[in-house]
Structure 1
């Protein structure tokens, strides 16, 4: 592991030695950013409400209003229970942006356009960062050490193991976004609003959970040492 020139970076790199492997480190850091099944349901309900209302009424405004009503109900439940409402806020933002796109064009399928554009942008970002060896998941480690990140946002890149494992995780999400676009873009072009709603839900959290499972397998089965020299010394001893 390279020598650090700043105190914050030095402390963060020393802190990494609490872990035996890079996979163990990333398991801990990533677990803080992943929501549970309730968040998955809360994210899916407004989309389902929109698609089902549209299939029944063919009324764009009514479909958007129904989706917004469900967002409001879910948000109220969270607030009454005094629980984290961030996933509802994400859903509300998604419904709002979708409404802007759909109402401006008058086409119900355009409600799904922002999500597809987001998937395409994320796909490009993941590809570029992986191919340039700046894998996005490496920043999960970097940001988790705020003091070191403030001094040197790229301090984690000095650790080859972190770069390698972070890139493997990103390839899983690259595959997920390719699959989402491969399914949804043809449906969008064919103006299949009902099928788009189903695809968005199925390729949302359920597909994301499958991707997380694959990422979990990488992190559970991998054995990339945090400190290769320490590992070699331990094996030699």
Structure 2
């Protein structure tokens, strides 16, 4: 094996950057089941609060539903990534709500998360290291090679903006509801702006990607 061969990035199964990003995004979203697992604890919490206005019971049902989903995953020996993320999320929400005794505080971590996530992605675009670029790097085997192609950087910046928009929209809608302590409306908004909005963002990204044919090897140079 020559030195050039030993340092070359591993071959990619994708002919274009767009195909690679589509595949990675589909995996990251977890499909329909992953989206459902993320929504069930919020539905359980909100539904219980609407029926009883009992904070502890609502949190127990929210956490309990996530634990049931986790057990199902373990029994099936399938990946627990998405349901585990859901369990961590409802656990943090329970901590915030129980600490203050205010049910609306269960939604505060999500508002913080979306604010920080949006700020981080906007910063990555501003410094020309858009987050989506690292999806390309994970496929090509060269984490930073995609930055050598201005066209790829521009594409990744556009796609990262499409990830920013749902986060900003969630904060814009949920923050006033949180300040007004509208718990039921917060729950409905979180569900409506969760999976449906993510699917819309994914569809927009697929539309952008479908228009391009950037050779995958260009991103690994």
TM, length-normalised to structure 2: 0.89
Q: Per the alignment, in what secondary structure is the counterpart of residue 30 of structure 2?
A: coil
TM, length-normalised to structure 1: 0.83
- Is structure 2 residue 123 aligned with structure 1 residue 133? no
Q: Show the counterpart of 2:81.
A: 86
1:199-210 to structure 2, matched below 5 A, reads: 199-210=189-200
155, 163, 177: which one aligns with 1:173? 163
Distance 1:29 1:55, change over 3 A: closer
Distance 1:115 1:57, change over 3 A: same
Decide which structure has the larger Cα Rg and report it.
Answer: 1
Q: Per the alignment, in what secondary structure is the counterpart of residue 28 of structure 2?
A: coil
Q: Show the counterpart of 1:30.
A: 25
> For residues 121-172 of structure 1, what are the alpha-carbon distances to aligned partners after superposition, in whole Å with 9 as ceiling and x for unaligned?
01101111111111001111223455x44xxxx3321122321111111111
Q: Per the alignment, in what secondary structure is the counterpart of residue 32 of structure 1?
A: helix
CA separation in 1, counterparts of 2:5 and 2:157? 27
Q: Show the counterpart of 2:107.
A: 112
Q: Per the alignment, in what secondary structure is the counterpart of residue 214 of structure 2?
A: coil
1:53-68 to structure 2, matched below 5 A, reads: 53-68=48-63
140, 158, 162: which one aligns with 2:148? 158
Q: Show the counterpart of 2:211.
A: 221
CA separation in 2, counterparts of 1:37 and 1:205? 9
Q: Show the counterpart of 1:232.
A: none
Displacement of 1:6: 8.4
Distance 1:38 1:156, change over 3 A: same
Judge conservation of contact 1:42–1:87 (CA < 8 Å) in 2: yes
Q: Show the counterpart of 1:11.
A: 8
Judge conservation of contact 2:49–2:55 (CA < 8 Å) in 1: yes
Distance 1:63 1:73, change over 3 A: same
Judge conservation of contact 1:156–1:162 (CA < 8 Å) in 2: yes
Judge conservation of contact 2:140–2:216 (CA < 8 Å) in 1: no
CA separation in 2, counterparts of 1:75 and 1:174? 29
Displacement of 1:225: 4.5
Deviates further, 74-83 or 194-203: 74-83
Unaligned runs of 5+ in 1: 229-237
182, 192, 198: which one aligns with 1:192? 182
> For residues 100-134 of structure 1, what are the alpha-carbon distances to aligned partners after superposition, in whole Å with 9 as ceiling and x for unaligned?
11111111000000011000001101111111111
